[in-house]
Chains A and B, each alone.
Chain A
Amino acid sequence: EAGVAQSPRYKIIEKRQSVAFWCNPISGHATLYWYQQILGQGPKLLIQFQNNGVVDDSQLPKDRFSAERLKGVDSTLKIQPAKLEDSAVYLCASSFRTNEKLFFGSGTQLSVL
């Protein structure tokens, strides 16, 4: 079974630039999650999709972050403009049932200079 695919693996940008991350979940998984993990901390949920609908985005900084999941499969997370404090690992995960056994991708490590 293919796992959750994420790209790019690493990204370095300057503050105020924009960046986009891509995620392809495991086939058949209806629920998709984007987490932000700052060094030394646990993952923080940014947004959760059920198929192509948003279940929760209460911790997504909507003035700069946006996410979409077209056709209920792939998803993109965008930051525009980036701030220094956005430096983190962005993890995508998917699950067959909501909140049961999440499968994570390897993440995108973002450095904002």
Chain B
Amino acid sequence: SQQGEEDPQALSIQEGENATMNCSYKTSINNLQWYRQNSGRGLVHLILIRSNEREKHSGRLRVTLDTSKKSSSLLITASRAADTASYFCATEEGDSSYKLIFGSGTRLLVRP
């Protein structure tokens, strides 16, 4: 079953531009996480934001959470070619706080 769904499915930007990806989910959550996956590799954890938080920063990453709209966004500022990857949001499934569900991801291409 799908909990988080990213938008857009694919994004192509020029190096130096900002990239924004969105995630929508269906049921209440305890936290929402963002992961990055480079081609052919495992996923790497980026940020975890809890339901009582509205915004969180980590380096060039900024994550926002709007629980009233059941949505989150990931902003990458001053993008680099090395940011080219797929980005996934992950949330618990419904009332099952122990089952983490991933969306289908946003494929980001940063052109040099």
Contact = CB atoms under 8 A, between A and B. Distances in A.
Interface residues of A, number: 26
B41 interface: yes
Given A42-B102, A43-B102, A48-B99, A106 B48 contact: no
A98 to B, nearest CB: 5
Interface of A: 4, 33, 35, 40-45, 48, 50, 55-56, 91, 93, 98-107, 109
Interface residues of B, number: 23
B43 A91 contact: yes
Nearest to B107: A40
B45 interface: yes
Interface in B51-94: 88, 90, 92
B88 A42 contact: yes
Contacts, number: 59
Contacts of A104: 42-44
Contact of B105 (A33, A42, A48, A107): A42
Contacts of B43: 43, 91, 93, 102, 104
6 contacts: A44-B102, A45-B99, A98-B97, A99-B92, A101-B45, A102-B33
A84 to B, nearest CB: 21
B47 to A, nearest CB: 10
A31 to B, nearest CB: 8
A91 B42 contact: yes
B13 interface: no
Given A42-B105, A106-B42, A101 B48 contact: yes
4 interchain residue pairs of minimum CB distance: A104-B42, A42-B102, A104-B43, A99-B100
Contacts of A91: 42-43
Nearest to B101: A45
Given A101-B48, A104-B43, A104-B44, A55 B98 contact: yes
